[in-house]
Homo-oligomer: A and B are copies of this chain.
């Protein structure tokens, strides 16, 4: 019997909106069958981040080798650093019938949409632009110049939400997580996704 493939869930949104926080909360109590695809990056580790948990931390040279070998599903250079998704792991996990969760930048999500049009694309938005600026500032690890740069990029990124299936406001983290989990649950109930199972039932008619 053909095994049902997993869903590719892509969480993205403007810089500073809190994608990482939301993703961590989701995986603090994950649904069975939901697997996080760890990104690779060439940016320096921030305090508290762990290699192989938050990211696979690479040097620029290592990252560029991965690009050349076609080992990335998507990648982007953002404020001077590379971010990308190792392809092999995603494919293998979907084939096993597990859902794969990507938390990636907007530019990368665009590349994934082209390669996996059936993916579920969720755009995380801030309650307001003012709140977004506050969050970027509060992170406290960036220079004034970087903050200004990030706000400009974020505004451009917000305009990309037309490419997404769902939009979730990240006002309260737990509430945003609840909505994202509901979206995943609902997508598993979409008729066109479970046609095989249904035909089996109808076969008895």
Contact = CB atoms under 8 A, between A and B. Distances in A.
Nearest to A185: B182
B182 A186 contact: yes
Interface string A180-205: 01110111011100100010011011
Number of this chain's copies in the assembly equals 2
A155 interface: yes
A50 interface: no
A198 B167 contact: yes
B204 A191 contact: no
Interface stretch (A74-82, A108-116, A121-129): A121-129
Nearest to A155: B205
Categorize the interface residue count of chain A.
Answer: 20 to 34
Contact of A158 (B166, B182, B202): B202
A129 B204 CA distance: 7
A159 interface: yes
Contact of A129 (B122, B130, B190, B205): B205
12 contacts: A128-B201, A128-B204, A129-B201, A159-B202, A161-B191, A165-B190, A166-B186, A166-B191, A167-B194, A179-B189, A181-B182, A186-B187
